[in-house]
Amino acid sequence: MPEKEKATIIVFSSDIDKVFAALTIATGALSMNMDVTLFFTFWGLNVIRKENTTKKKIGIIRKLFSKFNKGGAHNLKLSKFNMGGIGTHLMKNIMKKVNMNDTQTMLKTAKTMGAKIVACNTTLEFMGISKNDLINEVEKTSGVATYIADAKKSKINLFI
Amino acid sequence: MPEKEKATIIVFSSDIDKVFAALTIATGALSMNMDVTLFFTFWGLNVIRKENTTKKKIGIIRKLFSKFNKGGAHNLKLSKFNMGGIGTHLMKNIMKKVNMNDTQTMLKTAKTMGAKIVACNTTLEFMGISKNDLINEVEKTSGVATYIADAKKSKINLFI
Amino acid sequence: MPEKEKATIIVFSSDIDKVFAALTIATGALSMNMDVTLFFTFWGLNVIRKENTTKKKIGIIRKLFSKFNKGGAHNLKLSKFNMGGIGTHLMKNIMKKVNMNDTQTMLKTAKTMGAKIVACNTTLEFMGISKNDLINEVEKTSGVATYIADAKKSKINLFI
């Protein structure tokens, strides 16, 4: 049996609109029988982080930084017109109106369809997030070498 | 005759600087005899939307949202240093000074050179934009499956 | 000897977090024996610009614009939570804490490992930056045709 065609998407952003785009492409590729890896890094780690997490023992600086950088797929914001939350709220309402799934549901769907959900371990440490704080859908944490190995065999590579 | 090499670019952003980059790459690839698809989605839909459009019958929420989200290639703004329009104004002036085309002209040029201009139908509905509101350069609207089919045959895939 | 596999990364952004991601991917690919081209364009040109530069003779408009758009790899800012410099300052501190290199060091490392550092000549002129203002690591300036020629032979193409 020939190997499946691959798509590898780096999810760098935690903007809800960009995460939505990444997950739409991922589920689209999965439904066309491709192998999909979603490599979450930097702000994107917030997408795959549990809502309420016990912090790793981190210094005061990272603690301060993480104050501004909240986890959980339903804390994501719009990249534009957030306007203190109003724009994001409007967007979520529109998504319901047009019967779209929210990003949490889309992530679970992608996982069920076979997506590999990977967390970047370099930025995990940097963000002061422990592996225990990641949602169950995450298959593994890995570094840039694993990403490169996947990406160079992929038909579709995106940085979102 | 062998098939042409392909480039597929997702234009997610409506920031004038990013749209400029996308169109420069597109016309560059076209002039090197590649097949180019520009897939406009989300904020990028503003680039291919007529200036003055009669709104679809949409609910109050989407109406409110679309207040902040104006169409038309010359309503685009800089991703940085917009400063209430001053930065964008400066940029447009510099573009004229160095004899660059504006994004509207570039889009027409790309079309003339053979670019396929596609609008994402999922986000069209989401943004409350009707097909009649799209400029004539748009060839068709389509979904993620069409994007994936194009992208996986492309030598160059970008998300901008 | 077979040709090496290639990765071509457009560095459009000057956000420190995105530049960090681009350079991490670049050095990762280099250490896995790939050929890497970093194509710096638009805001990304700030990354490869000397700190203190004598301005090209440019008009008043570009002079004004360049006031807001400072060069030098240690003037880069976070894409989020910059908060007048506080967020960026925190990030740099965390990078030291977890023994990460700063972006300047990473750029030098990439160069030493064989990365081709290219500056986009269209946007150089646009930004009013002269070739003499670029750091020594820059191999050449070139246009979109050179980029396309590299990119279409690359296994990994990213726009960051």
Q: What is the pLDDT at residue A67? A: 62
Model pLDDT for residues A62-99, shown as the tens digit of each residue: 666 666 666 676 677 777 766 667 777 777 777 777 77
Contact assessment for residue A157 and residue A38, using Cβ atoms and an 8 Å cutoff? no
pLDDT tens for chain C, 160 residues long, are 678 999 999 999 999 999 999 999 999 999 999 999 999 999 999 999 987 665 555 566 666 666 666 667 667 777 776 666 777 777 777 777 777 788 889 999 999 999 999 999 989 988 888 999 999 999 999 999 999 999 999 999 999 9
For C:46-105, CB contacts with A below 8 A are 79-81, 83, 87, 90-91, 93-95, 97-98, 100
Give chain B's mean pLDDT: 86
The beta-carbon neighbor of C155 closest among A12, A152, A159 is A152
Mutate to test the interface with A, among C97, C103, C106, C154 (most CBs of A within 10 A): C97
Q: A143 CB near a chain C CB, below 8 Å? A: yes
The beta-carbon neighbor of B28 closest among C65, C128, C145 is C145
pLDDT above 70: percentage of residues in chain A? 81
Model pLDDT for residues A24-46, shown as the tens digit of each residue: 999 999 999 999 999 999 999 99
ipTM confidence score: 0.86
Query: Which range, B4-13, B81-90, C11-20, has the best average confidence (pLDDT)?
Result: B4-13
Question: B43-52, B58-67, C67-76: which has the minimum mean pLDDT?
Answer: B58-67
Alpha-carbon span C143 to C148, nearest angstrom: 9
Alpha-carbon span B128 to C66, nearest angstrom: 38
Nearest CA-CA distance, residue A56 and chain B, Å:
34
Residue of C nearest to A125 (CA): C98
Contact assessment for residue B10 and residue B39, using Cβ atoms and an 8 Å cutoff? yes
Look at residue B108 and tell me whether its pLDDT is greater than 60: yes
What is the distance, to the nearest Å, from the Cα of residue C25 to the centroid of all Cα atoms in its chain? 13
